[in-house]
Amino acid sequence: MPPDPLVALRGGLVVSCQAYPGEAMRDPRTMTQVALAAVRGGAVGIRVQGVADVEHVTHAFAELGITVPVTGLWKDGTEGVFITPTLRHAVAIAHAGATIVAIDGTRRPRPDGLSLTETVAGLREHTSALVMADCGSLDDALAALDAGVDVVGTTLSGYTGERPRTDGPDLELLAQLVEHVDLPVIAEGRVHSPAQARAALDAGAWAVVVGTAITHPTSITGWFVDALTA
Ligand SMILES: CC(=O)N[C@H](C=O)[C@@H](O)[C@H](O)[C@H](O)COP(=O)(O)O
């Protein structure tokens, strides 16, 4: 059986609460409020970006007695390997309070020259956090399994060149991971409706992460505006 925090996520919705550089909502207090609203709505997990947001959300949860596991990541840059790209970033996110640290789980060279295996080993040496590999293909996820991660996600499908950027979630990749990777598989990326979330669970996802469609008002507004102006 997987570790307890992963058991807590099973069959549920994880809400990713992220604002991008320069946006009005990019503030740890705002993201904490969004996270609290998501928990009130039934989210079984929260995903947040950056040391300050992880600290703020985990402190608020502790004060309020909320035990929902927090997955943390640190985005550094926008090109190539940018999701928790190095061991330094990963350790900082774990020390900020994340129960699960999401890291780039692709086979691309990492900026600090460490392999994924070395990164996972380093994280285990310095912290007790679980490790989620954000993958872009089946080969990524198989390599991540070998590297010793605890859970894999389809997070980077459509963003690394190995898979097409589907309109909705990459259910085909999800099914491949569920069949071939003996770890919990999290569906993440472009889940834009409750029906798509349900389809991901039905395809074998351990849990479903939704970000933009719940927590990014600028994108959601744009979808409506596009519909009105088409
Ligand atoms: C590719 C990348 O940078 N993904 C990031 C990972 O944390 C976030 O920007 C996404 O919002 C998150 O994965 C959830 O996906 P969606 O927002 O599509 O529901």
Question: Using one digit for the tens of pLDDT, what is the confidence trace for 60-97?
Answer: 999 999 999 999 999 999 999 999 999 999 999 999 99
Mean pLDDT by 10-residue block, N- to C-terminus, for the chain (230 residues)? 93 98 98 98 98 98 98 97 98 98 98 98 97 98 98 98 98 98 98 98 98 98 97
Ligand 1 in reach of 188 Cβ (< 6 A): yes
pLDDT at position 125 is 97
ipTM value: 0.99
CA of 128 to the centre of ligand 1 (A): 24
For residue 223, which phi and psi values (nearest 5 degrees)? -60, -45
Distances from the Cα of 118 to the Cα of 88, 123, 131, 189, angstroms: 12, 9, 13, 26
pTM tops 0.90, yes or no: yes
Q: Which CATH class is domain 5-229?
A: alpha beta
CA of 155 to the centre of ligand 1 (A): 7
Amino acid code (one letter) for 62: A
pLDDT at position 1 is 79
How many Å apart are CA 125 and CA 139, to the nearest integer? Answer: 26
Q: Is 37:64 a contact under the CB 8 Å cutoff? A: no
**Are β-strands 130-134 and 13-17 bridged in parallel, bridged antiparallel, or unpaired?**
unpaired
pLDDT at position 156 is 98
Ligand 1 in reach of 35 Cβ (< 6 A): no
Atom of ligand 1 nearest to the CA of 155: 13
Distances from the Cα of 158 to the Cα of 3, 34, 48, 161, angstroms: 29, 27, 21, 6
pLDDT at position 135 is 99
Ligand 1 in reach of 212 Cβ (< 6 A): yes
Ligand 1 in reach of 211 Cβ (< 6 A): yes
